[in-house]
Structure 1
Amino acid sequence: MGAALQLVGGLKIAAASGEWSGPHRAARQAPVQFPGIARVPTFPLHHRAGRAAIVTTDEDLRERLLRRAHGRYELRAFRGVDAFLNELQQEPPRWEHDLWLQQQIVERARRGRPLIPEVLRYWAAHSERLELTTVCVVDDFLCDRSGHEILSELVGWSGRRVLLSNGFDDGETVDAVNSGLIERVIRCGPQGTVERLDAALSVLLASPNERFQRLWADSFNGPQLEALREPLVLRELRTLAEERWVEWIGIGQPFGILGMDSHGVPSWLQLQLASELDTAIGRAMTNGLGKSEVDAVANRRSILDIDFQTEIGHPAAGGAVPAFHLGDKGRLLCAWRAIPAGLAHQERTATGLA
């Protein structure tokens, strides 16, 4: 049986687990309006390995959490509040600049520029995006200031906020969570604190940023987003992405996911809806594919990568490639495609970014 839930001021508390959460803090901000907001799927269309930051005077907790984070996510540990605030208070303009860069990519794509080379160029030229803090943790036991006071000073910061607290009966904490100032509260206790905190950080670091998610959802059509919402597709696709990449962006046209692994090597996962099989067969025939290739497409053993090859400047190389299936009754057909090694560098040179 799961942990018992109590309702305190509209806030759900998982009392047995020592953790509670409220509405995301983005609700406090004026929403950025992009077409397609209502169609945002659960699958993270924009994901990258984020950073976490913690400020605490508990040396043991800090060291144990650093050991658990090692090799899984980047964690910066601060002993002093001033250094912590100084670091994160400098980030809002950098978050806005990163969003603007991606908005420009989408806008250029609307004017006919291929999206895949644009994203590769962005990744190659803007490594500073990886230095942004995604989640912060503040210890409520700091001697001179409360955790609520510290978190309230992070005005305009786009990350998620976690408070280490000693209980659930603090009215100020309940109000802070319900208002969106705090994303999660982790109860400190004699056992399990580090494990609960590590689990919360893992979940929050894997959660998409809502504004970036909305931006990239605009390139998808309704049937594509509906397929990505299917629970089995969502689970299997996310597993594929997390096993192969540390960063990825979903694209609606061509339909697929562009990702990069921990060594900086990009690759493409071509996607096709099973419901579009007749269209795919017709395209295979009109593009001059042989009978065996057309049959492979018709029998769902292959999918077309014509749009992908056109995107990367090799339209003549497009054809039928071996596919595998995801979801209930193979709702989504997929194929891995390699990115030519020199493409990102060529794009940077062509635009003066190299």
Structure 2
Amino acid sequence: MSLERKARNWTLHRAGARASEGEVLRRLTRAIMATCLWDPQEEGSSWSLGDMRFLTVTAMLPGVGEAAYAQVFSAPYASSAIEVSSGRLAPRGVFAKLPVSARRRGEVMRRLGLILPPGRQDWSRDLPPLDEAGCASLARTALEALSEGLGWDSSIALSASILHETALGEAEAFLEGVRPIHIEGLLRESGLEIVEGEMDEDDEGESPAFLVQHGAPLPFQVELTDPVEDEDPPGLAWHYGTMIFSLAINVEEGDALALALALHGLTRWARVELPEENRVVVTRHDSVEGVTPEGLRAMLERWLEELTAVRSRLEQGPGGGEDDEEE
């Protein structure tokens, strides 16, 4: 897959320079705003749905190197994430050389709300889509993690780089499929509430899925399948070729078949199934390989049309929709 990337470098602090922590924080805040704020007026010119930005803030600690760093990930309309001092990229044993003890580092990171997953060395936290205030708060978190948790101080240079990546190729399409963060952005852009969401595959290899609220009582699921592995960047290495929308409806005993037949007659794209006696499931599968952002939006619009039709039918009750032919 051919990815277009644009890099931008920042000098947040020069080693030994007379800059207050407040000045460094203001520069870092501007860098995070450049990463996490997506102006809707600039869609189609400076960014498109499917773009991502990666901010890396690095401190070259004496005798340690680049082990002290923070990363921020962002995509249009989607949640952001911060990751501090990833053990995946740091040399083995380098954390023992940090000027802050492991115990103190853990205390600081936990106070900042950063989590250390089992078996990993990167402290991280997912964040909702950010506004300017959220960017300022994230900058404070990142700077405190670097200084109090990893040992950066004003005698050490601090730099940042922003990588802007687009997943769209020559035909302006997602050539090998989409990532979960792109689908999250699509859902949020449409004003839908994500009740539960998984950004990545879990340890058991299950596909990422979002549970989405579309007006009571119709929460539905969006699942991504057919993974395509990519190597760069390693932290977000999976694209998915198929998107599955599904809605499960629990009904009273004896009503499932009648409801399934009624729904089958009114849906144009979805498939109606009866996996259990008291359960009706409405699903549709869409391939997202080679799809454009406009195509993704059209897929969602068609599914929402299906949900509107299903809701109308459910509001009529078990026997609703049947013509009364008695005179």
Same fold? TM cut 0.5:
no
TM-score, normalised with respect to structure 1? 0.32
More helix by share: 1
More strand by share: 2
TM-score, normalised with respect to structure 2? 0.34
Larger RCO: 1 or 2 (CA < 8 Å, sep 6+): 1
